[in-house]
Amino acid sequence: MNQLEGKTVDMTPVGCTTTYGMVDLMEKCGAQRPLADTDPEAMTTLSLAGELAGFEMVKAMGWDITPMSEAFGCGLGIPQIDLQYCIKEHPYSESLDGLDYPSDFLDRGRFPAYKKQFAILKERVGSQKAIFGESEGAFTCGANLVSTENFMRWTFKRPADVERVLDVTKQAMVDVINFAFDNGADYYVMAEPTAGPALMSPKLFKKYVVPMLSDIVAKAQGPLVLHICGNTDMIIPLMCETGVKGISIEEGANMKEAVKIAHANGVRVFGNVAAATTLFMGTPEQSYKEAFAALENGTDFLCPGCGIAPGSPLENILQLKKARDDFFK
């Protein structure tokens, strides 16, 4: 937390910015998906198993980025031990009729289970490790409601409908974030894969995403971290402009330049060891080398660039802490 606030620390923290529902961890701790997706005890057991991977922060709120979308009515696929929840049905793809923010939103879906998990985590972890909540962000949630293809097209052709959707999902985002802080989170991560440069231009990001995120940050009761996939070099300044305390970037982004821009804005950087390639399919030696490079390039939190693929070998993930420890010897 000192690192997130820009205070002096003795070494760079190691962890995962988003999800780490790895099969290797599930098998070691005995808490496996799909039970670990819905049962507070199993969810907590897998959260705490992050220590076996060398992680120094603990994730709450499950192993995917669909909980808000689910509470709004999106249909989900069936999870397996090596397959997390994903969006299968978009309830407002044909019409926005009936779209509103339900008064019982935090009683829907998995939020009651998350509330119980937070209580168990606070009892078992106390103040020894930082606990973070995480979900999809408001823009990605909006895309899930109407389908990503529709949402991207609407940013050009139906801007009023985009704003209508975001007004609703933004309200949900604020309440979910503050729900996490009320229940013991130290910081909160918003995952916005749909808002990345691979799907929308910096101009549209500035038009739709920056004002929305700035409003969310202003209403949040604690520090926020923004994760966006892909090569985010073009929007790093805009990500920092939102007021978040941290940004999370993938290997496609220039860590050294991102750190320079972020620090000038009082923002810290998470990343950026390649999750989909190096950590999933590479060797321990490659994982170590990439982790060491991220440290040399100034990362504030040594983490995978994105969520860890379920089939990633634990030995590869352990190279992050090994690289950090060697770097600071």
Determine the pLDDT at residue 168. 98
264-315: per-residue pLDDT in tens?
A: 999 999 999 999 999 999 999 999 999 999 999 999 999 999 999 999 999 9
Q: Which residues contact 78 (CB under 8 A, 6 or more apart)?
A: 34
Q: Are 265 and 254 in contact (CB under 8 A)?
A: no
Sequence-ordered list of residues with C-beta below 8 angstroms from that of 97, at least 6 positions apart, any chain? none
The three-class DSSP label of residue 237 is helix
Cα–Cα distance for residue pair 128/119, rounded to 1 Å: 15
- Reply yes or no: is the peptide bond before residue 34 cis, omega within 30 of 0: yes
The pLDDT confidence band at residue 194, using thresholds 50, 70 and 90, is: very high
Looking at the DSSP assignment, which residues form a beta bridge with residue 248?
A: 227, 270
Rounded CA-CA distance 311/237 in Å is 34
Tell me what pLDDT residue 127 has: 87
- The letter for the amino acid at 114 is Y
- pLDDT tens for each residue of 157-168: 999 999 999 999
Angle (deg, nearest 10), helices 210-219 and 138-146 = 120
What is the tens place of the pLDDT at every residue in 2-45?
999 999 999 999 999 999 999 999 999 999 999 999 999 999 99
Given a cut of 90, is residue 318 above it in pLDDT? yes
pLDDT of residue 329: 94
Q: Is 273 helix (H, G, I), strand (E, B) or coil?
A: strand
SS3 134: strand
pLDDT at position 126: 87
191's tokens: 């995952």
Mean pLDDT score of the chain: 97
pLDDT by residue (tens digit) across 60-112? 999 999 999 999 999 999 999 999 999 999 999 999 999 999 999 999 999 99
The C-alpha atoms of residue 160 and residue 173 are separated, in whole angstroms, by: 20
Helix (H, G, I), strand (E, B) or coil at 6: coil
Smallest CA-to-CA distance from 214 within 138, 147, 141, 156 is with 138
Q: How far is CA 36 from CA 45, 62, 72, in A?
A: 8, 7, 22
pLDDT in tens, 123-170: 999 889 999 999 999 999 999 999 999 999 999 999 999 999 999 999
Note the pLDDT of residue 257: 98
Retrieve residue 316's tokens. 């590869």
The alpha carbon dihedral of 299, 278, 43, 103 has a sign of positive
Tell me the CATH number for domain 23-327: 3.20.20.210
Q: How far apart are CA 13 and CA 302, in angstroms?
A: 6
